[in-house]
Amino acid sequence: MAERLLNRLREARDAKGWTQAELAARVGVSRKTINTVENRVFTPSATLAIKLAQALELSVEQLFWIER
Amino acid sequence: MHDLKDVEAADTMGRKRSQIFFVLAIVFFAGQAAYFGSSPATRDSHARIGAWLILVILILMLLATGGFLFRGRKVLDLLNDETSRLNRLASQALGFWVTIITALVVYVESIFDAVSLNEGIHIIVTTGVGAALISFAVRERRAHRIG
């Protein structure tokens, strides 16, 4: 059965009151990358996943999980 | 932390880049359709071959680098971040497969009809490079539009 990487990036970003561009600036990627991760079009690298979790003050597991 | 202005500039430039690449792909294919539509006696002029060659080299450089620019290292890094790099790699892979498949088709065609070396290379390079360019433009446009 296919596995899917899900995330709560949008909810976590909204909780901080940040726009996609603001989160992108904090992490050092483009707004497009934040957008595609939020919409599960793009699976981020481990490096980016850690940077996102750090910026949002969450653990990687709180931000990303695998649906089986 | 990056400057928000850099992120916004990269976003604007990324959208423009995908639009420019899309238009460039259409111009490229249209030019080649006109080339193959013309009579063999007139189409192999130095000017036409030279224009095609320059365009192919330009497109290859754009696909290899993501575009030469413009607004400083920080914006360039944001413009070519991991989503763009992945889109570029996927487009290059598609270009490779289109090139190989076209080469096989030309090879089979050459068994039945005479295909000159120039013609064959022109067709193979045009389809491979054009497919990679349009694939990158479409992937980038889609990434900007989602959400």
Facing A36 at nearest CB: one of B2, B78, B83: B83
Distance (Å) from the alpha carbon of A62 to chain B's nearest alpha carbon: 22
Q: Closest to A29 (Cβ–Cβ): which among B3, B4, B78?
A: B78
Three-class SS of residue A7? Answer: strand
Short-list A30, A48, A28, CA closest to B144: A30
Alpha-carbon gap, residue B140 to B147, rounded angstroms: 14
Contact B3, A20 (CB under 8 A): no
Provide the 8-state DSSP code for A41: S
Residue A22, pLDDT score: 95
Taking chain B (147 residues) in runs of 10, the rounded mean pLDDT of each run is 88 92 92 81 79 93 80 85 94 97 97 92 95 95 82
pTM for this predicted structure: 0.87
Q: Do B81 and A29 touch (CB under 8 A)?
A: yes
